Amino acid sequence: MKKTKNIKGINKYIANASLTIEASLVLPIFLFFFTAFLYFIQIFIVQEMLQKAITETGLSMSRAAYIYSDFYDVSDSKTFDEALLEENIQRGFKELYRTIIYKGAIKYAVESRLNLDRINNSCIVGGFDGIDFSSSQVFKCSNDIDIVARYRVRIPIRIFGIYEMDMIQRVRLRGWSGHKIPALYRVIEENNGKEESFVYVTDSGSVYHLDRTCSHISLSVEAISGKPTWQRNKNGGKYYPCEYCLKNEDSQEEIYYITSYGNRYHKDKSCPKINRRVSKIPITEVGERVPCKRCGR
């Protein structure tokens, strides 16, 4: 009888010991995968934060695109009086033309919409400085705003000897310019069987024009008395001395010349900056030129 009790006690002890061993083996594995799961949740949260920031940046720029599309070039847009715009459009307009001038500016636009402390202390290698926006393009041969963010994230589990993963996030939006520019092949197809179509180009221009009277190539020159210190062009921009005919800013002429959409004033009416040499060529010879945003709709 006593022997039977001893056997039962031993079996009970062995069972308890077995449970302890199993728990000691399973618990670390459970905690490891639970921690890894939480880490991947953090990655998803960081991705969502970054996606929200780049989307908001793209939308802000696209809303201001209709204003930028009315300028002749980037230098023209820099002189625009932004105070004429609503506050939310002002920000998008600044970010848009700064990014067109310097592609790196898009990083600062996204930065202003992020919680940097959370990003710098997240799983992203190098924090916010580790995010590369160099593949982004704004109005590059199209009206598209393409923001691309590349970065690496640390992973808690070493998979095939890999400690980090490459990540790419992207948003692509079309600028809200209201312009619907037909593709060149459609313009050519529409004119097949008809008299050959011609367009207008300038010697140094990168666009072609369908209308000879387009304000981008047919400039309306106005003579004014004295320097245009208070006048504004039709885009609201200020006038500055022409770098070609007014190298001496102290020049005191009685008559100066300005254009409706330009941002320079001139002392010489025949200054090449306001006298564009326009050529008429077949549309099949435009090469890499793109349609004018104003008359090429």
Mean pLDDT of all residues belonging to the chain: 74
Of 174, 206, 240, the residue at which a domain comes to its end is: 174
Cβ–Cβ < 8 Å for 178, 171: no
Q: Tell me whether residue 238 is in a domain.
A: yes
Of 153, 174, 195, the residue at which a domain comes to its end is: 174
Helix, strand or coil, per DSSP, at residue 272: coil
Domain containing 227 equals: 184-291
- Which amino acid does the sequence have at 85? L
Q: State whether 63 and 165 are in the same domain.
A: yes
Q: Tell me whether residue 179 is in a domain.
A: no
Q: How confident is the model at residue 160 (pLDDT cuts 50, 70, 90)?
A: low
Of 174, 208, 236, the residue at which a domain comes to its end is: 174
Q: Tell me whether residue 280 is in a domain.
A: yes
Token pair recorded at residue 26: 């399973």
pTM above threshold 0.75? no
Q: Tell me whether residue 125 is in a domain.
A: yes
Q: Tell me whether residue 66 is in a domain.
A: yes
Q: State whether 114 and 197 are in the same domain.
A: no
Per-residue confidence (pLDDT) for residue 259, from 0 to 100:
84
Residues 186-200: pLDDT tens digits?
454 555 555 568 888
Q: State whether 205 and 148 are in the same domain.
A: no
Q: Which residue matches tokens 């004295």?
A: 226
Cβ–Cβ < 8 Å for 263, 237: yes
- Which amino acid does the sequence have at 228? P
Question: What's the mean pLDDT in 29-36?
Answer: 72
Closest by alpha carbon to 278, among 211, 233, 221? 211
Per-residue confidence (pLDDT) for residue 24, from 0 to 100:
67
For every residue of 166-181, which 3-state class applies, written as one string?
EEEEEEEEECCCCCCC
Per-residue confidence (pLDDT) for residue 18, from 0 to 100:
56
Q: State whether 25 and 122 are in the same domain.
A: yes
Q: How many distinct structural domains can be found in the chain?
A: 2
Q: State whether 164 and 191 are in the same domain.
A: no
Q: Tell me whether residue 297 is in a domain.
A: no
Question: What's the mean pLDDT in 146-166?
Answer: 81
Model confidence at 256: pLDDT above 50: yes
